[in-house]
Amino acid sequence: MKANELRIGNWIISPIEGEAEIASSGITWQSTHPEYYEPISLTKEWLLNFGFVRREYIMLAEIHVDYCLNNLSVNIQSQWIYLKQVQIMIKLLYVHQLQNLYFALTGEELILNQ
């Protein structure tokens, strides 16, 4: 991971804390010791914990699953992202990538539900 991929509030795997939210001091430390940090794989559990709602639909006689929050829909299997009716394909593999994309598209932070 590179420090320039991270923002305050991103979730990563820390060598001391395990899954942890980045604070401003964490970005400084991570930039000098990137080998100690790992990204967190994006899973349906993370989407649900951020408040996304699971939605099933049938298209071309197949069942598809998206996870929706506000006007953003994510399909982690096909890597399709929908914002309102605009469709883009982007490789979203990690939690911090979703957090950064969500902020870039909406201007709002994703908040983890406790």
Segment 23-82, tens digit of pLDDT: 776 666 666 667 778 899 999 999 999 999 998 888 788 887 888 888 788 887 766 676
Task: Say whether both 12 and 52 belong to one domain.
Answer: no
Task: Say whether both 27 and 53 belong to one domain.
Answer: no
State the residue range of the domain holding 92.
44-106
**At which residue do the structure tokens 């930039």 appear?**
31
Q: How far is 54 from 76, CA to CA, in rounded Å?
A: 12
**Residue 45 confidence (pLDDT):** 93
Q: How far is 47 from 27, CA to CA, in rounded Å?
A: 23
Task: Say whether both 18 and 65 belong to one domain.
Answer: no
Task: Say whether both 99 and 85 belong to one domain.
Answer: yes
- Residue 70 domain flag: yes
9 strand-pairing partners: none
Task: Say whether both 49 and 20 belong to one domain.
Answer: no
Task: Say whether both 54 and 91 belong to one domain.
Answer: yes
- Residue 35 domain flag: yes
**Residue 89 confidence (pLDDT):** 73
Domain count, the chain: 2
CA distances from 8 to 12, 29, 53, 82, 97 (A): 11, 13, 25, 25, 13
**Residue 100 confidence (pLDDT):** 92
Q: Does pLDDT of 113 surpass 80?
A: yes
Task: Say whether both 49 and 98 belong to one domain.
Answer: yes
**Residue 54 confidence (pLDDT):** 92
Joined together, the tokens standing for residue 72 give 């953003």
**Residue 79 confidence (pLDDT):** 64
Joined together, the tokens standing for residue 32 give 């000098």
pLDDT band at 105 (very low <50, low <70, confident <90, very high): confident
Task: Say whether both 48 and 102 belong to one domain.
Answer: yes
- The residue count of the chain comes to 114
What digits encode the pLDDT tens for the residues 79-94?
A: 667 666 667 777 788 9
- The residue type found at 27 is I
For residue 38, report the phi and psi dihedrals to the nearest 5 degrees. -130, 150
